[in-house]
Every structure is written in C-alpha cells, then in structure tokens.
Structure 1
Amino acid sequence: MPKIKQNLSKIGHPNSRKTAALVRQIKRKQDRHKTKLAHVCLENIVGEKLMWFKEHLLPDVRVYLAEETQKIIAEYMARFNEELKQIDIKQSIGKRKNRQYASREDIIKLTLKKEAEEYNTCGIEVPDLWDDTQLNLLRTWGGELKYLQKFKLRRIGKKHILDKLLLEKKCTKQSKDNLQKSPGNMECE
C-alpha cells in the first residue's frame, strides 16, 4: 500500500485515469482481503468441528463401526442442548416481553436444523472415522489449523450408516460361517 499512498498524493483530478487505476487497485486488494477472511472463517469452523470429534473419540477404538459412528454423530448434533436449556431457564425466570440471548438461540437452532437436514439427506461432513490412518492422525493432531489439509473429511448420512450396518452384519454372518468351515479365514469382502 505504500506505492498507492505515494501515488495518491500526486493525483490532481478525481476523474483522471490514474485515479481510476488506483481505485481499481485498492478495490482489488480489499476484495482479496475479504476472500482471505472468508477462508480463515471456514478454516476455523472446520478446525472446531475436528477438535470436537478429537475430544469425543473413544480411546480404545481402532476403527469406528457403524453403530459407534451413529452415536458420535448423535452426540455431535446434540452438543448445543445444554446451552439451549440454559437459555430457556434464563428466559423463564424473568417476566420480560423480549427474549434474552435471542440471536444466539436463533443461530444454534438454525445450525441444528441445517445439520439435521444434511444428515438425513446427503450426509454431514465429519472426519473419516472408518479409516485407521485418519483416526490416528486425528488423535495425534495438536489443534493447529495449518494441518487441516491433511485430514480427509467424509460425508456420512443416515443412509450411509444403514448401508454400513447391513454390510457389517453380512460380514459377521459370513465370518461366522467361514469360521465354522475353516478357522483360519476371518476376512469379509
């Protein structure tokens, strides 16, 4: 910006070509800065989501099964319940006509509605809990946002979990049959 400030002092007329060029330069830099801020905000949101999952991982599980994945996603979607209860308690105490913490309550409800809709349709974006290496990476992650690009996020929805449950049941049935036939073969395809 020092060049722009130097050039601004030399400009004589506000409608000149040089002034228009400087205005375009300033606008371009402002637009770049705005997009950088938007990316940083999205990065923070994804980082908070990954940190929540890291804190709520089961310590002895190597790879999550469908039931465990369903439970942790249900916990994730219920993460604001305590805060909503606190807001309801605060609103019920006073006899005020206006709502306290209305904006926070609305943001939470919109977020929950959006996440529930995503979960029921195309799937909610979560860290890949079905991959051993990704789960280990999540466990060892220190919370630095610069390492977010190493994570593989996966869209997991109700349909995906039901399909995985059916596959796991089929695999356990096949492995029991294979175990009865030949005790050495324990793999499911």
Structure 2
Amino acid sequence: MSTTMKKELAKAKKVLHPNSRKSIAIMKKTKKISNREKVKLGSFVKQNLVAEKILWIQQHMVDVCPYTPELTAELLETYMGRNDEELEQIALKHSIGGRKNRQHASREDILRMTKEREKAEYDTCGIEIPDILNTGQCEMLQKWDGELRYLPNFKFRRFGKKDLERARQQEQRSRTKIKKGIKSILDDKKSEKEKEPSMVSESAETTEASRENLVPEEDIIAEVSLSETNLLKGDCSMIVE
C-alpha cells in the first residue's frame, strides 16, 4: 500500500458505514490512486525493457556511424539469437539422464516465445530500435550512459527484413551511379590529355607553315633599298629637268 493511500484511509477517524457518502468518496479516491500507481509501474517496467534492449544494441555495435542497412540487418539477426546459447544449455540438461520432467520449463518457454515473437516482428512490421541509419541518433546511442531520463531523446524506428533489403538495394544503386559518374569524369580528363599533344603538334605545324610563307629578311632589305634608289633617281630627274 502506498503512502498516499494510507493517508486517505487515515482520514477516516471512526468506523464509517459502507454505504455512507464519506466511505464511497474514500473508496473512489483509493481506486483512482491504485490505478495511477499501476500505470506508473507499467510505464517503469516498459522503460526498463526498452532500456535493456537499447543497451544490448549499444554494446554489440561496431565502430561505424551511421550504420548501413546491411550492418543493421546483421545486428538485428544477432539480437534475435541472443538467447540461443541458454536454450541449448537447457536442452542439454534435458537430454542428460533421460529426464521425463522438463526442468526450467517456464524459462525455456519464455525464451522460445520471445524469439518467435521477435522473428515475426522482423519479418513483418519490424523491430523497434533507435534510428541508427541517422548520424545524430547513431552518435547519441553510442554515447548513451544508460540513464532512463534520456530515452525520450531517441527517435525510434521499426526495421524489418524487407525494408532493410530494399534500403540495401537502393544504397547499392546509388553507389553504382556515383562510380559511373566518377568513371565518366576520369574518362573525360583522360581524353582531354590525349587531345593536348595533337593540338600541340597542329600548332607547331601551323607555326612552321607561317614561317615558310614569310619573306626572307634579306629580300625585304633589298626591296627597301631598291625603292629608295628609285625614289632618289626620280628626284634627281626632276632636278635635271
């Protein structure tokens, strides 16, 4: 019995009639307190179960951030088989001595039912864990110290077998596109480098041709001197006249 409920019952200083208004009010209030405590207890148990699952995920993660769909699938498959060793030990105890009664039967049933339920979730709607495909959530999970008050900061997401396979194929297609883009860029650069020597040779041939078409310097000097001589002769003839 909680302290609040004890205080409510202590208010009744004398014996009350079961059908009196005071006793009915006390009964209503105690029932309300009892229901509230049940909800708190259920929430606390649920938080502990979620924290236990997240802690297992954190301890078995590799040093990669963010996680890939392929690594996430491997992690969840390992998580579903976390109790296989204990089930094998229980089965081994049953086989020794030819016992007819099932020792640790309740524990074995709980582990087997848990594995079947998680396998069904993984094959259909998915197992709910923090979104480790997101960089921020993955870093937060890797740095988490196990405090329950930080659980609301996590962004949970369901990862199923089909969803992870689809995400893996999409990631593979995007990687292929990136590789093709890089290859095309490298091919373009290679073709440009191959074109450079031909362009240099063409420019050299053009230069040589222009040189061949040029008039020699000696001929230019001779023509200039000849024109000067003619001019002088013309001037002299004008003077003579």
TM-score, with structure 2 as normaliser: 0.72
Check the 8 A contact 1:11/1:18 in 2, yes or no. Answer: no
CA distance in 1, matches of 2:149, 2:90: 35
Q: Partner residue of 1:4? A: 8
How many angstroms does 1:65 deviate by? 1.2
Cα distance in 2 for residues equivalent to 1:7 and 1:15:
17
Is the Cα–Cα contact under 8 Å of residues 11 and 19 in structure 1 kept in the other structure?
no
The residue matched to 2:16 in structure 1 has which SS?
coil
Contact 1:120 1:158 in 2 (8 A): yes
Asked if 1:19 corresponds to 2:23, the answer is yes
SS of residue paired to 2:145: coil
Map of 1:186 onto structure 2? none
Q: Does structure 1 residue 106 correspond to structure 2 residue 109?
A: yes
| Aligned equivalent of 1:171, options 167, 170, 174 | 174
Of structures 1 and 2, the one scoring higher in RCO (CA 8 A, sep 6+) is 1
Take 1:4 and 1:95, find their aligned partners in 2: how far apart are those partners? 58
**Equivalent of residue 141 in structure 1, options 144, 153, 165:** 144
Partner-residue secondary structure (3-state), 2:87: helix
* DSSP 3-state at the match of 2:170: helix
Counterpart Cα distance in 2 of 1:140 and 1:3: 43
CA displacement at 1:68 relative to structure 2:
0.8
Unaligned runs of 5+ in 2: 187-241
Q: Structure 1 residue 10: deviation in Å?
A: 2.9
**Following the alignment from structure 1 to structure 2, what is the Cα–Cα distance between the partners of residues 94 and 111?**
28
> Partner of 2:60 in structure 1?
56
TM-score calculated relative to the size of structure 1: 0.91
Q: Which residue of 2 aligns with 1:34?
A: 38
Q: How many residues align?
A: 182
**CA RMSD, aligned part only?**
1.3
**SS in structure 2 opposite 1:94?**
helix
Q: Where does residue 187 of structure 1 map in the other structure?
A: none
Q: Flag structure 1 segments of 5+ consecutive residues without an equivalent.
A: 184-189
Please state which structure has a larger fraction of its residues in helix. Answer: 2
Structure number with larger C-alpha Rg: 2
Match for residue 45 of structure 1? 49
* CA distances 1:60-89 after superposition (whole Å, capped 9, x unpaired): x12111211111111001100011011111
Structure 1 residue runs of 4+, over 3 Å off? none
Question: Quick one: which of 76, 79, 82 aligns to 1:76?
Answer: 79
